[in-house]
Amino acid sequence: MFDWRSAKDWKHLWRYYQTGIVNTVFGYGLFALFVRLGLNIFLAQIASHGLGMVFNYFTYSRHAFAGHTTTKTRYILSYIGNYLLGLAALAAISHFIASPYVAGFLSVVFVSLVNFFVLKRLVFRPRQET
């Protein structure tokens, strides 16, 4: 799955998080904006997640997983799972942390690590040489 001794795997994780920083700024920025505009945190999360999913597809496929193949179906299914995990994390964290901004950020951090392994193993696959 992930070889902790492999420079290649560490480089791939680094590229994922480089892209993830851009994606997080975009997605969390939307979440914070929607909360600021008065949306319930769960409505803000689904709206920002949906818009972020489209944005993330392009950034991940062009940077973190460049040269890999995928289908939009696998990507969408992975993000449905990602959303449900993020929703559960947000609900759990918001019981302990009153700030919706901090709770939202912490759920993003947790879910992003899980998302890397899902994208790497199930969604984006190395191209087969013919």
Domain extents for the chain?
A: 7-125
State pLDDT tens for residues 85-97: 988 998 999 999 9
* Residue 29, pLDDT score: 93
* Residue 117, pLDDT score: 85
DSSP SS3 for 113:
helix
What type of residue is 109? V
- Residue 4, pLDDT > 80, answer no
**Dist CA 106 CA 126 (whole Å):** 31
State pLDDT tens for residues 89-124: 989 999 999 998 899 889 888 888 888 888 888 898
pTM: predicted TM-score of the whole model, two decimal places: 0.71
Give the number of other CB atoms < 10 A from CB of residue 32.
16
